[in-house]
Structure formats: structure tokens, C-alpha cells
Amino acid sequence: MLWQEGKLGNSSPQNLIIAMWWLLTQHFGLRGRQEHYSMAVEDFSFAVDDNGNEYITFHESPTKTRQGGLNITRRQQLPKMFATGGERCPVKLFREYINHRPFEMQYQGPFYLTPLLKATPNDNIWYKRMKLGVNSIDKMMKFLIADTPLEESGKKLTNHSARKTLVKKLRANNVERASIMSVTGHRNEQSLNDYDEGNEVEQRHISNEIRKKL
């Protein structure tokens, strides 16, 4: 729905940078604010596998906000975001974002830059030579659902909801915990227990089972 509503996509500087936030959270299991704020363009690299499939690797940088500080152990397996084709292809959109940055900042500097609000689709440069503020990153979910049915849904949606959605999607599709941890960067399986609340299908099944017992 968010893609159809134009909240995610490549038609403006604002929805492209929000799309980056959403896609990187989903594919690399990033936390909602600080990990995004600390990222640099240099943390990512393009590559192609033996079958010719293009992907982007995220080289995780330690941050002071994560347990263990700057001495944190990196992920054993570097997470990858593969090209999927189509208009929503994460690699395609990533390249577009890089190409719309100021030329001298396409391969270095903070990942999130401040959008040029007056930029048009025909302009080459969509972003200022200025790092996007941490408060703006903290409000990504708020910007994302603004003026959509989700805003009026009554659901409490925050930046963390994107990471939570990722884990619940993978659990619902029977992905092993070890594989989920390779994406999210969790250090032990116990850390995933916070995401184990049942989805609506499970809750409906439980309610039906309880009703049968009454």
C-alpha cells in the first residue's frame, strides 16, 4: 500500500530517502535510528555472485549505542541485499539514491543526506551536502505513514516497527533463528524472544480453540 500510495519510491528526494531507510531496515535488520544515523556510504559495496546476480553487502560498523560499544563483535556473515528486478528493486533504488547525491559524496560521506525540497525529477542533484539530522531519521515511520490509512489505523507504529516486521515475516515463513540472526545481527537466540508475540492469524486460531473449550 505504501508503494502504491507513492510514499515509497523514486519520484522525489523525500520518498527515495525514506525508501532507503525502509529497504535497509528490512534487508539488513538495522535498528530504527542510531544505526542509520551512523552509516556512511563506505559501509556498502556492490558485487556480483557466480550466477551473475548483483547484490550489495553491508559492512557493519560498530556504534557506541550497541552493547559492547566500539569493541563489539561483527556479524559472522556479512548481510547481502540482492537485486530483485522491477521498479521496487532495492539495488536499483540504491543506485538511484547514490546517483542523486552531490558528485563528490557519491562514494564517501554520511549515508543519509538532507533532501533538496525544491528538486524536481529532472534535476540531477536531489540532496544537500549536509547530513540528515538524527531527529529526522527518528521520524521516518511518522513521515512514511503520514496521510495514509495507516495513520488513522490506531496502531502504534514507530521506527522499530520496521525491524519488528522483518523478524515476524521471517518467523512466519519458518526461517531458522540462526538465519534470522545473520540478518538482524542479534547475538543470541534469546534476543529474538521479544519478537515472538503471535500474529493475527495465530491469535485468531487461539481464540477459536479457546471457544471450543467453553
The percentage of residues in the chain with a pLDDT greater than 90, rounded to a whole number, is 43
Better-scored residue on pLDDT, 18 or 158: 18
Return the biggest CA–CA distance within the chain.
68
Q: Are strands 44-48 and 54-58 parallel, antiparallel or unpaired?
A: antiparallel
Set of cell numbers at residue 103? 558528485
Nearest Cα to 33, choosing from 133, 141, 134, 131?
134
Confidence of residue 175 (pLDDT cuts 50, 70, 90): low
More confident residue, 211 or 135: 135
| pLDDT band, residue 2 (cuts 50/70/90) | confident
- DSSP tag of 94: H
Determine the Cα angle at 25 with ends 32 and 136, to 5°.
Answer: 40
What does the pLDDT read at residue 32? 64
Contact present, 32 and 162 (Cβ < 8 Å): yes
CA distance 54 to 64: 32
pLDDT (mean) for 106-128: 95
pLDDT of residue 85 exceeding 60, the answer is: yes
The better pLDDT of the pair 131, 80 is held by: 131
Mean pLDDT of the chain: 78
Residue 209 has pLDDT above 70, yes or no: no
